[in-house]
Structure 1
Amino acid sequence: MVMARKSLDDARELRRSGALIRVLREISREHRGRLAVTYALVICTELAMLLQPQLIGSAIDGALSRHLSPIITLIVFWILLTVSETAGAILDTRTFGRMYFKWVSAFVVRRRKSGAEVSQVVARSALSRELIDFFEMEVIGAVTTFIGLFGSALLLAQIDVRLGLACGVALVIVSISSFFMSNLAIRFHRKLNDRLELEVDTIADGDEVGVSRHFEEIAQWRIRLSDLSAWNFAGSRLIALALIVAVLYVGASADNISPGTLFAACSYALSFAALSTSLPMLLDQMTRLWDIAIRMEN
């Protein structure tokens, strides 16, 4: 109970600080054009991905009825989607690589000129990579999760309204559990980063007991974070099972559902369950970034 209250207090402190927004704005200032193009390509690709299960289902029905047009449509779609994903991967590497070296170079020079200790600059420059990862991983992950979750739920509701309602209930459950898990993660990440900042000095001291205690504490905080992720994974698997059972029940009770439609429904249910796992992971990473951003400004 004390730990939960402490983690809630930590969450409020981090959110009030506004440090994350300021740091992210500074990093992205020179790269807004490239970021806009990158994210636009991601959105278009993810919207197209929503059509994939339906097109595969149509191709299945077409193959069973000896119609080639759905199969040809799937082939053309697949090629275009591959081109889009390849272009996005090539652009991503160049955009975020440029952002990283410019930001970290400026940060190291600025901190050393202000008299910061080398050990602190080393630790924080390493942590700063995660701020760049926010643009590359978290923003894109959030877009992918939002489009995938709501797109899958809407398309399942189009197949049968009961499936859409089941997705809505699952989303509420995941959101509530994610909130409480992220509050615990805030405290764990802060303690872990505190230890990481002491790593260079601890190794330099060379004290056997101190070094052992340092790495033991790092391992303990990583274990706690890993346990949170494990519980999150277990929950997502149960959600996947429930949705698949719901899809099969609807398929068995419906008179006019085709094999292709049933395949598409199962694909959307699996996609929804897999993406629901991303919500706690995104919140967990946001808590890490809040703590890192505060350290960047101090």
Structure 2
Amino acid sequence: MLTLKNAAPAAAPNSAVKTLKLLGQRHSRKLILTFLLVAAENITLLLYPLLAGFAINAIVSGQALHAVLYAVMVFMMWAIGAARRSIDTRTFARIYAELAVPVILAQREEQHSASTIAARVALSREFVDFFEKHLPVLVTSVASIIGAAVMLLLLQFWTGVACLMILVFFALFLPGFTRRNEDLFLRLNDRLEKEVAFVNSAPEMSLFRHYDVLARLRIKLSDREAIGYLSIGTITAILFASTILTMSFQGGLDAGHIYSVMTYMWMFAMSLDDGPQLLEKYSQLKDIGKRVNTRTI
């Protein structure tokens, strides 16, 4: 009989955070280069409305050379973006190629069925997608939201205050929103893991029921995302209306100032717009992290 001292320690539970940390440590150099380019993109994006406002005022006052410098900044934005996209593909295609084999071997050791292994290998791609697609969007959204709010505090103080109040308002709903998403992804991924075996043996009525349930779960997730978009759209429409009325009564504002304020508000709104999709991806990744053993990577 084994004593507690001699027994093998229990494996640490899988989690999305541990997997992302392992991938980050293993591919740190590639990821640092990629995210330096993301940071450079964000800096140019944040400066864009302010420099556009200066360019508009330069055009109005006939300072053509100053106005043309705006075109140089536009070229820099696209050049940095092109470099990031080129490096992204090389970096993340190789990361996934190195991730897939350890995932398969780990699931084999745990004696999962072939259908479960196939599903989990496909799901593991979401970890790479997080670094390639969702983390840059998250970084850009956070930088744009905070940067736009700060710039609005400087340019149109009460609009900036309203932006901060909007952030606090939506933050109150985050815990409940993410818990419900996690529950839906738990049910969805449970079915996806069993799909290959189910397709091979289930009768016709069971197949119809299976795909009907998958459809309803995906529709529920989509509806929640749509509700999030509508809520954000309603609040930002009120923000635009109140700011436009304030600037109209304020008077004496030059065209560049008005353009900068409107563009920073639009940046704030569009970055908030990414929130529902990012929350959905977070919930999906959290559930996948509990299923997929990547401890051997």
The corresponding residue for 1:86 is 82
- Correspondence for 2:137 among 134, 141, 154: 141
Quote how far apart the aligned CAs of 1:206 are.
4.0
Q: Which has the higher contact order (CA 8 A, sep 6+)?
A: 2
Unmatched 5+ stretches in structure 1: 1-15
The corresponding residue for 2:267 is 271
Corresponding residue pairs, total:
283
- Correspondence for 1:74 among 43, 50, 70: 70
Which amino acid in structure 1 is aligned with residue 112 of structure 2? A
Unmatched 5+ stretches in structure 2: 1-11
Show CA shifts across 1:240-266 (max 9, x none): 211211321232122331112111111
- Measure, in 2, the Cα distance between the counterparts of 1:17 and 1:246: 50
Quote how far apart the aligned CAs of 1:18 are.
6.5
Quote how far apart the aligned CAs of 1:137 are.
2.1
The corresponding residue for 2:229 is 233
User: Are 1:64 and 2:60 an aligned pair?
Assistant: yes
- Measure, in 1, the Cα distance between the counterparts of 2:67 and 2:13: 54
- Correspondence for 1:262 among 223, 233, 258: 258
What's the Cα RMSD here?
1.8
SS at match of 1:131: helix
User: Are 1:161 and 2:157 an aligned pair?
Assistant: yes
The corresponding residue for 1:280 is 276
The corresponding residue for 2:4 is none
SS at match of 1:35: helix
Quote how far apart the aligned CAs of 1:151 are.
0.4
The corresponding residue for 2:8 is none
The corresponding residue for 2:174 is 178
Show CA shifts across 1:57-85 (max 9, x none): 22222222211133221011111111111
Q: Which moved more, 1:105-114 or 1:235-244?
A: 105-114
Please give the TM-score of this superposition, normalised by the length of structure 1.
0.90
Quote how far apart the aligned CAs of 1:273 are.
1.2
Q: What pairs with 1:1-298 in structure 2 (closer than 5 Å)?
A: 19-297=15-293
- Measure, in 2, the Cα distance between the counterparts of 1:151 and 1:24: 27
- Measure, in 1, the Cα distance between the counterparts of 2:30 and 2:63: 43
| Contact 1:175–1:279 (CA under 8 A) maintained in structure 2 | no
- Measure, in 2, the Cα distance between the counterparts of 1:295 and 1:197: 10
SS at match of 1:297: coil
| Contact 2:27–2:95 (CA under 8 A) maintained in structure 1 | yes
- Measure, in 2, the Cα distance between the counterparts of 1:226 and 1:151: 29
| Contact 1:181–1:280 (CA under 8 A) maintained in structure 2 | no
Identify if the C-alpha distance between structure 1 residues 17 and 283 changes in structure 2 by more than 3 Å, giving closer, same or farther: farther
Identify if the C-alpha distance between structure 1 residues 250 and 69 changes in structure 2 by more than 3 Å, giving closer, same or farther: farther
- Measure, in 1, the Cα distance between the counterparts of 2:138 and 2:154: 24
Quote how far apart the aligned CAs of 1:221 are.
0.6
Quote how far apart the aligned CAs of 1:175 are.
1.7
| Contact 2:145–2:272 (CA under 8 A) maintained in structure 1 | yes
Q: Which moved more, 1:105-114 or 1:163-172?
A: 105-114
Quote how far apart the aligned CAs of 1:187 are.
0.3
SS at match of 2:173: helix
What percent of counterpart residues are identical? 27
Show CA shifts across 1:116-138 (max 9, x none): 21100111111111111111122
Q: Which moved more, 1:219-228 or 1:174-183?
A: 174-183
Show CA shifts across 1:184-213 (max 9, x none): 101001000011111101100041011111
Point out the structure with the larger helix share: 1
- Measure, in 2, the Cα distance between the counterparts of 1:98 and 1:279: 29
